[in-house]
Structure 1
Amino acid sequence: MPSSPAARRRKAAIAATLTAAVLALTGCAPIVALDAAADSNDPGCAEISVRLPDTVADKPQRETNAQATGAWGTPTVVLLRCGVPPIGPTTKPCVSVNGIDWVLMTDPTAKSIVYQTFGRTPATEVIIDHVAGVSDSAVLPDLASAIATVKQTQKCLSTLDTDPTTSPNPGQTSPTPSPTPGL
């Protein structure tokens, strides 16, 4: 027996309500697909993961499909992966933000730039989408307390620290070059 128009409207209303509830629970944003880093199962990554902030640069955190990763913004403007291979001494620009040393791994004028922690194992990388107007100075401080849970064993040094022709005054801290204005 065919259903009445009132029954069809009720079913449609129930279906619409359930769809709205599912969308509200998922935040209307699909899960961000990322590849886990090689050492994402390191206990240090677990410490970082549980402390990732709900917002970065005023962008809400998104759900990801990979261990020890993070994503913020809709569309996504900040990505994080813990467990990437640590880097050794480098001539790439280094900046210290809230006690965390970051090495700029890409050209600072690129549309998306990559920073990686220095002197911490496991290492963490952060990718920032500059096209969306998100600045490094808004992102890196928001991640500092989570990253700080992994002990730092080495500090980034500026060229003044390693240049044998330069002799800074004893006790003087050498400046660390900033890869982008405002940092």
Structure 2
Amino acid sequence: MTRSRRLRTAGTASALLLAAVALTGCSGGTVSMKAAPDANSPLCADVTVRLPQSVDGQQRRWTDAQATGAWGDPAAVLLTCGVAEPGPSTLRCITVGGIDWLVDESESPHYRLTTYGRNPAVEVYVDNEVVSPNNVLDDVRLAVAQLPKDADCTAPEAPLDEQDSGTG
């Protein structure tokens, strides 16, 4: 290998290393997550590439699982595409930005929100003491709207009340 080619190769490697450090250096590290069963769906790829850089003021972070997203340091919002599509449920169903979501408040103040009538389904797990679930769902709606709609909630409720969301 010639000296100029070695320098070019070394320069390229250095540039790639610097870029990797720059991308991860300020993010608080990678958020470890588990991919959902249908994470490899092309529809989840459509969602993932459209996820916003911030939700309710929280900056996006790197994750280590396919079709996932995380925001905040520490992570206050976790999104997973490819979860099982929920069937009929007794959980509260809300509509935010034209997307129906089932609201599981069993781990309050953390809410698990799962799309209803979209396949594959998306789950968003939010820390209700840090972010407003309504704002988060509104911020991710354009990405989630890429999923085909095949059902609606039968009696959707309004988005979560301010007193329910904890942050207003």
Normalised-by-shorter TM-score class: 0.7 to 0.9
* 1:116 aligns with one of 92, 114, 127: 114
Q: Compute the displacement of 1:63 (Å).
A: 0.3
SS in 2 for 1:106: strand
The aligned amino acid for 1:139 is V
Tell me if structure 2 keeps the 8 A contact 1:63–1:70. yes
**Count of residue correspondences:** 145
* 1:154 aligns with one of 151, 156, 163: 151
Match of 2:132 in 1: 135
SS in 1 for 2:70: strand
SS in 2 for 1:105: strand
**CA-based RMSD:** 2.0
SS in 2 for 1:95: strand
Gaps of 5+ in 1: 1-19, 159-175
TM-score (norm 1): 0.74
Paired residues for 1:13-162 under 5 Å: 24-26=22-24, 27-107=26-106, 110-132=108-130, 134-158=131-155
Distance 1:83 1:37 in 2: 5
Distance 2:47 2:112 in 1: 18
Q: Compute the displacement of 1:55 (Å).
A: 0.6
TM-score (norm 2): 0.80
Tell me if structure 2 keeps the 8 A contact 1:93–1:179. no
Tell me if structure 1 keeps the 8 A contact 2:94–2:160. no
User: Which structure is higher in strand share?
Assistant: 2
The aligned amino acid for 1:48 is V
Distance 1:144 1:67 in 2: 19
The aligned amino acid for 2:118 is R
The aligned amino acid for 1:42 is S
Query: Do the aligned partners of residues 29 and 89 (structure 1) sit closer, same or farther apart at CA in structure 2, a change above 3 Å counting?
Result: same
Gaps of 5+ in 2: 1-17
CA offsets 1:89-116 (integer angstroms, 9 cap, x no match): 1121000111100001233x70211000
The aligned amino acid for 1:145 is L
Query: Do the aligned partners of residues 110 and 179 (structure 1) sit closer, same or farther apart at CA in structure 2, a change above 3 Å counting?
Result: farther
Distance 1:21 1:50 in 2: 20
Q: Compute the displacement of 1:141 (Å).
A: 0.2
Distance 2:96 2:27 in 1: 33
Q: Compute the displacement of 1:143 (Å).
A: 0.5
Match of 1:181 in 2: 161
Distance 1:127 1:81 in 2: 9
